[in-house]
Structure 1
Amino acid sequence: MADDINQLREQLHQLTEDYKTLEHNFDIMSEGYQESLMLYDKLEDTYHELEETNKQLEVARQRAEEASRMKTNFIQQISHEIRTPLNILNGFTQILTTPGMELDLNTQQEVTKGIDENTNRITSLVNKMLELADASCRTELDRTDHVLAVQIAAQASDESRITVASHLTFDLVMDEGTDTLMLQTNLQQATRALSLLLDNARKFTQPAEAAVNAGAEVKQGRVVLRLAQQEQMLRFIVEDNGIGVPESEAEHIFDEFVQLDDYYDGTGIGLTVARSIARRLGGDVVIDTTYTDGARFIFSLPIA
């Protein structure tokens, strides 16, 4: 009987030891399983990061291809736009230099006007290319001119010729106190930046040729330039009822050569140059994406 009890005790002891061994092995397996889970989670995170990186690389590749295409289009367009007035000037030159050619007063005035217009057109294109080359520069511009804010608005309106555009109505609105507000800035550069924004509004409130040819209803264009003070910044707000800008393109349109609608004339560098000038004057140019009746650009300059 005693032998049986001892044998049972030995078996119980062995079972206990076996249980402890199994429990230890289970703990090791559990730790390994947890480590495997952690490793899997890390691998999954790495996979998602790689997937996101690949998406960003694909977007960057598409943007690079788009920029290359736009640059090519820009060069072709500039070449075409320069060649056209050159051909016109060449025609006028042949008329003026033809032996025995006598022109009446009206014809002389038309030729003179044509020469002036096309010379200015070439000069404007060359200036745009020079401005584009300077757009990536971050050097601050000289700000020693003391001028009225309304003077910048008036000169930019004249320079952009928006006041004589037949397809739109243009209004200059000044908030209280802005009519006598003085700025210390660069008159020429500030005027140029605002002129580019007004020119952009003038262009995109005019119906595209494709829409006109398709018989689409043409609405009267409207552009408002409003001067408003916000803390220590003077804001030139250019608001139009043109084709507008999708919110997803709000920053993209400030890139070089970007044109959202190929049916409109343009070089795709005006907004790039305007923002560059504004930032070098201590301000900025942004688009208000909350405005949905067209486009609203805000050009800000420091007051002091």
Structure 2
Amino acid sequence: MKNALLLLAILIASALPAAAQSAADGLDTTLVAYYRWCNRHKQDPEMLLKADTMFRLAGERQNPRMQSVALCLKTDYYYYTGNLDSLKVWVARTQQFTREHDQLTHYYFVWTRLITYYSKYSKYTLAQYELERFRDQAIRDDYKPAIAEAYKQLGHIYRTKSLYDTAIESYAKSIGMVERNNLKEVDASYLYLQLAELYTLQQKYDKAEEALRMSEKRILLPEHIWRTRISRANLAAMQGDFESAEEQVREIREKSGGYVSENKIEEIELTIYKGTRNFQKALEIVNKQLANYEMTKDSLGSSHYFYIPMLASRASLLYETGSYKAAAEDLSRQAALARQKYESDNQEMLNEFATLFDVERHDREKVEARQQAQAERLRRARLFETGLGVILLLATAFIVILTRLNRGLARAKRAAEESSRMKGVFIRNITHEINTPLNAIVGFAELASTTPDDEPERSSYIDIIRENSGYLQKLIDDVLYIADIESSEAPPSRAAVEVDTCCRRCIDELSKHAPLATEIRFASDGEGRSPRIRTSCLLLGKALTELLRNAVRFTDPKQGVGLSYSLSEDGRSITFAVEDAGPGVPEGEREHIFERFVKLDSFNQGLGLGLAVCRLIARTLGGDVRLDPDFTRGARFLLTIPTE
């Protein structure tokens, strides 16, 4: 009967901001002064300007808590002046700021303002909708005081709608949250008191008694004992213990000091008088309350919640006293008002559902707009990533190309430097190597020209001239040979070559130009028949000749020089071996000796081009030449070329 007004009082009391409790706690005195002024003038338009100033000053002092309090004060102004549209706007703005600055207490406070507004104007469907959103967000934030508050407020809503079981479940959840987490922000005694009243309405008196005992154990302030006492008196009256109920009501009226309202006391007295069949006193109370409701029934538009049931109560009392006509008039009026209220409630509910539909549609539109904005940002990010990737790819390609060009330039530079160095070495060596035989030729030619023909010395002079002429010719041939091979772009012409014949021809050629005092041994591996390969006989012969000449120069004449060859197992290559019994090659010089103008003994005659010519020819033919590291009795050079 009195649920709506009770709910309104509960919501307004429980929605007091936590900021009000702690705003003046160790803060800047200027900000505290602004806060106190605004809190005393919540419906004064000037308060909006002072709240703005307070917000600015708190920002300058980097105090987000007091900034949040200033925004809560502005929200309060629109709450108390009944401006719903502005209230919703400032609730959203305040929540955005408090969420960004981690001020969850104020975040949930302004939300309760909106919920309280809906309950204040009997928009219980909207209030329940906001409370369920409030609860779900608190659960996501794991903000336990707000979760407990949400269940408590939902219990109030369900109680107003006479959904007692659901209301009991919500209160129990709130109590469980408070007890498990020892929350001081929520009054557990009050929650147990609500349970007791609901159990009393359902005539579950044992549970109501237990809930009252728990409420008494958790009383926070001494005066709260009277709200428990009034509930005990109501429980006694509902149970039919009217004598105990009258005694408790008398004590409450005498000792509570006005803490319990007279209307609350009269409601219990009405129950007592009905139970004791004292209908005249019951009618006095009903008439008094109806007179009060007549005066205030349009103030909040919710007096029907009390007026209509009270008419039915008076009709039943009039009937008991025999005033049937008056009882009938009250019943008729009650039925008309009930029908009117039913239609009004249905219309209000339809309006609330329409509002909820608009809210949901607006939320969906915001979500869609947010998703579109995210999709657009994602598209731009992808375009940026793609562009950046292309730029990085181009930069990488540029760096790679530049690196290759730099490497090419470095190689060209090194080649140029090496060429310049080689040119200098070549000029120095060839000057020395040419002058030596030329001086010998010129000197012995003059001697031969002045010596009679029949002198034996003249013949030896001519032999010396011939020997130096041959050496000079070979020197020039080697230089021209290297130049010709390096400058030629065409591959060497290949033909069938009989290996044994080519080897013997090289030995004969070497003997013809420089008679040997050293024996050259040739070991054939043809098993009675000389193998045939397809290569350049001219180039192969030149390479073998240079290897043999080099071996003859350094070997021990008594042990001679050996020439042999062997085919690979697959028959695709052939290896020629030229070995001598000389001093060998130091380990650190085994690759160095194949470079141009390299001589291990600088006093030996020659430019140091023989082995360089061999390697150049071998690689031209698709093979290579190397020094056998396992041979220790001198030096053995291995020339390997393909057979095809």
Same fold per TM (> 0.5)?
yes
CA contact (8 A) 2:623 2:642 kept: no
Q: 2:505 aligned with 1:152, yes or no?
A: yes
Q: 2:468 aligns with which of 118, 124, 127?
A: 118
Letter in structure 1 aligned against 2:639: I
CA contact (8 A) 2:444 2:461 kept: yes
Structure number with the bigger relative contact order (C-alpha 8 A, sep ≥ 6) is 1
Deviations 1:162-215 (A, max 9, x none): 9657xxx976443352x7416588766643331123334567x68xxxxxxxxx
Task: Tell me which residue corresponds to 2:625.
Answer: 287
Task: Tell me which residue corresponds to 1:181.
Answer: 530
Matches of 1:290 and 1:34 in 2, distance apart? 58
User: Which structure features the higher share of helix residues?
Assistant: 2
Matches of 1:33 and 1:290 in 2, distance apart? 61
Q: 2:352 aligned with 1:12, yes or no?
A: no
Letter in structure 2 aligned against 1:148: T
Matches of 1:176 and 1:144 in 2, distance apart? 16
Task: Tell me which residue corresponds to 1:74.
Answer: 426
CA contact (8 A) 1:92 1:111 kept: yes
Moved more, 152-161 or 24-33: 152-161
Matches of 1:31 and 1:162 in 2, distance apart? 83
**Deviation of residue 46 (structure 1)?**
3.6
CA contact (8 A) 1:238 1:296 kept: yes
Question: Identical aligned pairs, as a percentage?
Answer: 21
| 3-state SS of 2:430 partner | helix
Letter in structure 1 aligned against 2:382: E
Task: Tell me which residue corresponds to 1:52.
Answer: 404
Letter in structure 1 aligned against 2:549: D
Q: 2:383 aligned with 1:32, yes or no?
A: yes
| 3-state SS of 2:547 partner | helix
Task: Tell me which residue corresponds to 1:22.
Answer: 373
Judged with a 3 Å threshold, the aligned counterparts in structure 2 of structure 1 residues 261 and 192 are, in CA distance, closer, same or farther, namely: closer
**Deviation of residue 129 (structure 1)?**
3.6
Judged with a 3 Å threshold, the aligned counterparts in structure 2 of structure 1 residues 245 and 134 are, in CA distance, closer, same or farther, namely: farther
Aligned residues: 275
| 3-state SS of 1:238 partner | strand
Matches of 1:94 and 1:162 in 2, distance apart? 26
Deviations 1:205-241 (A, max 9, x none): 68xxxxxxxxxxxxxx996532113426554233574
**Deviation of residue 57 (structure 1)?**
2.5
CA contact (8 A) 1:227 1:234 kept: yes
Matches of 2:514 and 2:449 in 1, distance apart? 33
Matches of 1:248 and 1:33 in 2, distance apart? 55
Matches of 2:530 and 2:560 in 1, distance apart? 26
**Deviation of residue 151 (structure 1)?**
1.3
Matches of 1:183 and 1:115 in 2, distance apart? 40
Deviations 1:102-161 (A, max 9, x none): 799664454233222212222222333443343244375585986624413533664696
Q: 1:91 aligns with which of 409, 434, 443?
A: 443
Matches of 2:509 and 2:576 in 1, distance apart? 11
Matches of 2:611 and 2:508 in 1, distance apart? 18
| 3-state SS of 2:577 partner | strand
Judged with a 3 Å threshold, the aligned counterparts in structure 2 of structure 1 residues 300 and 13 are, in CA distance, closer, same or farther, namely: closer
Judged with a 3 Å threshold, the aligned counterparts in structure 2 of structure 1 residues 175 and 108 are, in CA distance, closer, same or farther, namely: same
**Deviation of residue 85 (structure 1)?**
1.4
Matches of 1:300 and 1:132 in 2, distance apart? 19
Judged with a 3 Å threshold, the aligned counterparts in structure 2 of structure 1 residues 121 and 62 are, in CA distance, closer, same or farther, namely: same
Matches of 1:142 and 1:12 in 2, distance apart? 88
Superposition TM-score, scaled by structure 2 size: 0.35
| 3-state SS of 1:59 partner | helix
CA contact (8 A) 2:502 2:537 kept: no
Matches of 2:449 and 2:627 in 1, distance apart? 55
Q: 1:228 aligns with which of 533, 549, 566?
A: 566
CA contact (8 A) 1:201 1:242 kept: no
Task: Tell me which residue corresponds to 1:210.
Answer: none
CA contact (8 A) 1:160 1:199 kept: no
CA contact (8 A) 1:160 1:195 kept: no
Matches of 2:516 and 2:510 in 1, distance apart? 6
Moved more, 5-14 or 189-198: 5-14
Q: 2:639 aligned with 1:298, yes or no?
A: yes
CA contact (8 A) 1:196 1:274 kept: yes
Give ranges in structure 1 of 5+ residues lacking alignment: 207-220
Task: Tell me which residue corresponds to 1:197.
Answer: 547
Judged with a 3 Å threshold, the aligned counterparts in structure 2 of structure 1 residues 161 and 26 are, in CA distance, closer, same or farther, namely: farther
Judged with a 3 Å threshold, the aligned counterparts in structure 2 of structure 1 residues 302 and 76 are, in CA distance, closer, same or farther, namely: same
The two structures, once aligned, show a CA RMSD in angstroms of: 4.6
**Deviation of residue 298 (structure 1)?**
1.2
**Deviation of residue 62 (structure 1)?**
0.3
Letter in structure 1 aligned against 2:525: D
CA contact (8 A) 1:244 1:295 kept: no
Judged with a 3 Å threshold, the aligned counterparts in structure 2 of structure 1 residues 95 and 170 are, in CA distance, closer, same or farther, namely: closer
User: Which structure features the higher share of strand residues?
Assistant: 1
Letter in structure 2 aligned against 1:40: L
CA contact (8 A) 1:162 1:198 kept: no
**Deviation of residue 286 (structure 1)?**
0.8
Matches of 1:239 and 1:30 in 2, distance apart? 72
CA contact (8 A) 1:235 1:300 kept: yes
Letter in structure 2 aligned against 1:242: V
Judged with a 3 Å threshold, the aligned counterparts in structure 2 of structure 1 residues 7 and 295 are, in CA distance, closer, same or farther, namely: farther
CA contact (8 A) 1:285 1:297 kept: no
CA contact (8 A) 2:550 2:610 kept: yes
Superposition TM-score, scaled by structure 1 size: 0.65
Moved more, 12-21 or 184-193: 184-193
Judged with a 3 Å threshold, the aligned counterparts in structure 2 of structure 1 residues 21 and 235 are, in CA distance, closer, same or farther, namely: same
Judged with a 3 Å threshold, the aligned counterparts in structure 2 of structure 1 residues 171 and 42 are, in CA distance, closer, same or farther, namely: farther
CA contact (8 A) 2:547 2:610 kept: yes
Give ranges in structure 2 of 5+ residues lacking alignment: 1-122, 124-351
CA contact (8 A) 1:225 1:236 kept: yes
| 3-state SS of 2:567 partner | strand
**Deviation of residue 249 (structure 1)?**
7.6
CA contact (8 A) 1:274 1:285 kept: no
